[in-house]
A and B are shown apart, each in its own frame.
Chain A
Amino acid sequence: MSTAVTDKTNRLSVTAAGGKMIADYWDGVFNARERGDQVVWYNGQALNPIFQAAGLVWCHGEAFSARLAAQHLEKPAQLAGEEYGYVGELCSYARTHLGCAVLTQQNRQGESTGVVGMPDQQELASKLPAPDFFVNAYSGCSTGQQWDDISFRVFGKEVPIFNVSLPFLWGNKPDSGYLVGEEWEQTSEHVADQLHKLIAFLESMTGRPFDWDALRQNMAYIKRASELRREAMALCKLAPTPATFWDWIASIAHINFLPASQDLVDYFAAVKAEIEQRVAAGISGVHNERYRVYFDGIMNWNKLGWLARKFADHDVAVIAGRYTHHAFWQEPHLIDPENPIKGMAQHYLLCPTNHGTKTIQDLVLRDCAEYGVDGVVFHSTRTCRAFTNPQRLIAKAAQRDLGIPSIFFQGDVADASFYKDDILESQLVAMLEGIDVRRSQAAG
């Protein structure tokens, strides 16, 4: 039983226009075949500026699963996956996307899926154009690379695949750390080398020389968009916050896989401008902000709107999160548009699951202090072990080093069945009561 929730959110209006950009992008993917475009399926890091420069249509597997889940259209793909034999505890991004692969492959072969009902939704899942080739570039999580290897197998091992291997930044050396040390320098060069090989592979797939000028231009747009995004995020250190984590979630698609263009820059300029207007007018992202929390975990796409309303209903502003703030071209100073490969390689290594716990903990605690949060909410993501790996240790460190309490709630990236509303509700209420007690003790 879910608890009823009133809406005290005050989401940025600019993200509504952003929704159209996303829909247009996906329409472009669905219609790729009609235009005679080549399609690449990829997973993991944002290789899209490279694909864009190569004149390809790109489809990010996780993004497609997330989109289906956010629109509550994930079931047919998941049923197809289940029927094919995937166990329900498997990463639900992978399960959903592999379900799509099964449907797409069956569609191609003119088979019946065996999945009954919901024909329109099913059509959406199988509308995905089959890939001309795959590219995998997954950092952090071992499942990412294995998932594409299985997609390759679902398509009968007949579609070419290229792997970019991204080493885990474990931190073996005394000089290891975030953006520093021998390990960082060496792995950056190693990945940069592979990106050159990827580009050669793309040339062989397209039969065209790679357009380096286009890549430079793309990265100039992305660098600027990222700077605007980070500047706008920093404005949310103010209390009350002018925008929330949920606004950054609504802007992930843009920074993660929409085409690099002036439109992208304009979008983030508009986000920043709206936030600046709010700051000037004293408007907050949650009506009556009384508590500020940090969100650790990958997104629960099925419950996006629900969670935004639930936290706001308790006067909680979710300010920042590991998923939104430690990913997606988040270090724009590393990008040199004239010579973009190394900075791209470095971002591909900077996935928020690709570090040892110590680094992740340092970054999360740094943000908790900078954004002035009262507590941390951990989304214990049932089928995403990559994100849950360090959570218990971070929670201990937040309490020990900053005196910040934490709660855990279970949910999932794309499988609604794992979300337990009662648990979140009771945990949240208990944490807020604890915060009230401490505040009154401090005041008294």
Chain B
Amino acid sequence: MNGCAVRCESVRKRYGSKWALRDFSVAIPERRITAVLGPNGAGKSTFFRMLCGITRPDAGRVEVLGRTPGWRTNRDIAYLPDRARWYGDLSVGDSFVWAERLLPEFDKERAEQLAAYMGLDPGMKAEGMSRGEEARLMLVLCAARRVPLIVLDEPFAGIDLISRERIVSTLIDILSSREQTVLISTHEISETESLFDYVVFVDNGQVALAGDAERIRAERGSMEQVYRQLYR
């Protein structure tokens, strides 16, 4: 049986008067792809931020790769922040130099391959890119790192159909090597659910349902159907 890449026990987090996470407990299997699903404001991004040490829980325990979240653990995590933008003055090529110098285990050759596959022009500066191109670039920066954990917060947001398919294809490649744990959140459920190993449905700061995707399918139907059942 596999170990756990991420473990949360009764985590709570409040912003002002709003509870982003309340009694949030989950165990994410390693070397699998796990999808975290739920409506906006459910707490998905807060959860991801905790894994990367940007946010700290008010109560409860968070464990990532067996350690406490923080900048030290971030060596082993490739994180795509939600609603992130990229440094406008950097071109695709510059960005790869940036990643090479600052992000451990960045594979520049792989990044260049992926960039070509995603249709990114190496000389183009981020400020001149469309949102979709910028999103693809940021994804490549994460996908080209040989780290144990890849966390992608809404990697498909703002991306056109063809590019989405290419991202799916890239994820399949990553999963084929079975060395990395992937954690993603997405709203494009019907397009991507055939990828999921493990699924966590989040509602109002808590885990509404979590389990093996195939088992949930046998018991309750497709992820999309389950989503509708849970969030009606």
Answer yes or no: are A and B bound together in one complex: no
